[in-house]
Amino acid sequence: MIGAMVQRVREVLIFLFLALFAKANGSEKPNHWGRSESVRLPPPPPPPPLTQEENASYCLSWRLAVEANNVRAWRTVPVQCLRYVETYMIGGQYEKDVALIVDQILSYAGGIVVSGDGLDAWVFDVDDTCISNVFYYKGKRYGCDPYDPSGFRAWAIRGGCPAVPGMLDLFNKLVDMGFKIFLVTGRDEENLGQSTIDNLHNQGFQTYERLILRTAAYKGQSAVTYKSDIRNQLVKQGYRIWGNVGDQWSDLQGECLGNRTFKLPNPMYFVP
- State pTM to two decimals: 0.81
- Reported as a single tens digit per residue, the pLDDT across 124-168 is 999 999 999 999 999 999 999 999 999 999 999 999 999 999 999
Q: Note the Cα 209 to chain centre separation in Å.
A: 28
48 band by pLDDT with thresholds 50, 70 and 90:
low
Q: What is the mean pLDDT of the chain?
A: 90
pLDDT band per the 50, 70, 90 thresholds, residue 53: confident
Average pLDDT over every residue of 103-119:
97
What domains sit in the chain, N to C, each tagged with a CATH number? 52-263 (3.40.50.1000)
Rounded to an integer, the average pLDDT of 16-39 is 51
**pLDDT, average across residues 57-62:** 97
Looking at the predicted structure, is the pLDDT value of residue 27 above 50?
Answer: no
- pLDDT for position 15: 57
Residue of higher predicted confidence among 177 and 25: 177
Res. 213 pLDDT band, cuts 50 70 90:
very high
pLDDT tier, 51 (very low <50, low <70, confident <90, very high otherwise): confident
Residue of 74, 247, 65 lying closest to 146 (CA atoms): 74
**Residue 66 pLDDT exceeds 80:** yes
For residue 52, the model assigns a pLDDT of: 79
Confidence grade of residue 42 (pLDDT, cut at 50, 70, 90): confident
CB–CB of 218/226 below 8 Å?
A: yes
- Split at pLDDT 50, 70, 90, the class of 8 is low
Distance of CA 5 to the CA centre of its chain: 72
Residue-level pLDDT at 18: 53
Q: Is the pLDDT of residue 173 over 80?
A: yes
Give the pLDDT score at 38.
54
Angle between helices 189-202 and 149-158 (to 10 degrees): 40
Query: What DSSP line would sit under 4-26, residue for residue?
Result: HHHHHHHHHHHHHHHHHHHHHTS
Per-residue confidence (pLDDT) for residue 189, from 0 to 100:
98
Q: What average pLDDT does this structure show over 37-59?
A: 75
**Consecutive H or E run containing 165:** none
Compute the average pLDDT of residues 3-13.
56
